[in-house]
Amino acid sequence: MSDVKSVAEQRWFLPKSSLGDLVRKLCEQGYTVIAPVRRDGVITILPITEAADIARGVADEQDGGHYRLHDDPEDKYFRYSVGPDGPKRYFFPPRQKLFTMHVAGDRFEMDTVGPEPPKYAFIGVRPCDLAAIAVQDRVFGIASDQSTFRCETETYYQQTRLQSLLIAVNCTRPGGTCFCDSQNTGPEVTEHHLFDVAMTELRGGFVMRVGSDKGRALIDELPVREPNEAELELEELRLIRAREHMGRSLDPQQARDALAKAVEHPRWDEVAERCLSCGNCTMVCPTCFCSTVTDSSDLASNKVTRHRQWESCHTLAFTYVTSGPSRNNTRSRYRQWLRHKLSTWYEQFGSSGCVGCGRCITWCPVGIDLTEEAAIIAADRTLTTTHRSESEVCS
């Protein structure tokens, strides 16, 4: 048996004082570096130019409809879990110009087509967000799995994604609304994730491993050393502890089966009493992809510009078809959202639409919790209704 470790098994150690070298190297390679930053009371992800910009010495507190940051005596970089936003908005911007056209005689001529795809390097991407990127890759047409539909026109998403670099961080302190362990998407980066480098933060630095040739080339340029036995043991302990401290849990198979049957259920009325149809849950969700387009015309220059912006299945306007809204009450819109996320998504994309990040629970202003809603419906032993798609049950 060979004692030579494969690249996937190999580990490196980057001292904390050298995190700046990593950021500098990425900037030199022409990347716009995106990392977690403390801003306006939340951890958000923004462009940075040095390691000092990354949120440090801060921890979060999350629960249904509740998010707070507090100073943390451990003084680590990544002691918080996901904030309200993630890499999604860099690959699939909340509002994006698609094209501009001008009037030329009796027809329109194209002026510009969208923005140039940027080159992003993300530091601190959590395993749930890596799983969400894989879900969106299927939606926007760059998945390796050819069994799902492909979208040939999403060139901005595809190019931005393919030239991006993903430096992930294993979660050692899951948030109060996290359930990635249930969804098999975290808290540790595994060989099932797409990533370039994965790191686990310890007191003195980061245990690193690589997931791609790009990641390997980056490691070769950093002042890394081999980790010692104690560091590797500590990493393992941190990850075991993280699994034991998930804020929520969900049985995905049970939820899938129960929601497939629960077309008519009294719980939909109860949740509709509380749901505000605000759409927050969809805006923070890393897998939601619904959008709408708006055209604006400038009479002075004879130009028209088309933008695409995120939309939500929770809004009445989004359900509008030629004869009126197809889901004309909160009950039907919440039902569509939950059944799609946890049940019918499998039929459409071959996976769950939920990666267990917990954002929709934290950022719901009234604290509606999908793990609780799914568990209540799954616990109803009287469920017998056979599955029908949402288009068949639209009110």
Name the residues that contact ligand SF4, by CB under 6 A. 275-281, 284-287, 314, 341, 354-360, 364-366, 368, 370
φ/ψ (deg, to 5) at 162: -70, -25
Query: 176 or 358: whose CB is closer to ligand SF4?
Result: 358
CA distance 76 to 198: 17
CA neighbor of 280 nearest in space, from 271, 291, 288: 288
The bridge status of strand 32-39 relative to strand 205-210 is unpaired
Alpha-carbon gap, residue 45 to 123, rounded angstroms = 9
CB of 231 to ligand SF4, least distance (A): 31
Q: What is the three-class DSSP state of 106?
A: coil
Instruction: Please identify, using beta-carbon distances, which residue of 76 and 341 lies nearer to ligand SF4.
Output: 341
Whichever of 87 and 205 has its CB closer to ligand SF4, that residue is 87
* Calpha distance 385→376 (Å, rounded): 16
Nearer to ligand SF4, 10 or 277 (CB): 277
Which residues are CB-contacts of 96 (< 8 A; sequence separation ≥ 6)? 114, 115, 156, 307, 308, 309
Kindly tell me which of 76 and 333 has the beta carbon lying closer to ligand SF4: 333
Q: Name the H helices within 13-154.
A: 19-28, 88-91, 127-139
- Sign (positive/negative) of CA torsion 78, 82, 85, 86? positive
**Six-digit token string for 235:** 């990493």
- Closest separation between CB of residue 370 and ligand SF4, Å? 6
Q: How far is the CB of 341 from ligand SF4 (least distance, A)?
A: 5
Q: Give me the least distance between CB of 298 and ligand SF4, in Å please.
A: 34
Number of H helices, E strands in the chain: 14, 15
| Nearest one of 310, 365, 327 to 94, comparing CA atoms | 310
Q: How far is Cα 368 from Cα 70, in angstroms, rounded to an integer?
A: 24
Give whichever of 200 and 352 is closer to ligand SF4, judged by the CB atom.
352
203 vs 231: CA distance, rounded Å: 10
Q: How far is the CB of 335 from ligand SF4 (least distance, A)?
A: 11
Q: Which of 210, 364 has the CB closer to ligand SF4?
A: 364
Q: Which helix (H) or strand (E) holds 303?
A: strand 303-310
CB of 181 vs ligand SF4, minimal distance in Å: 13
Q: Which is nearer to ligand SF4, 83 or 358 (CB)?
A: 358
Tell me the closest approach of the beta carbon of residue 363 to ligand SF4, in angstroms.
7
Distance of CA 368 to the CA centre of its chain: 19
* 136 vs 287, beta carbon nearer ligand SF4: 287
Q: How far is the CB of 38 from ligand SF4 (least distance, A)?
A: 21
For the bound state, the minimum distance from the C-beta of residue 221 to ligand SF4, rounded and expressed in Å, comes to 34
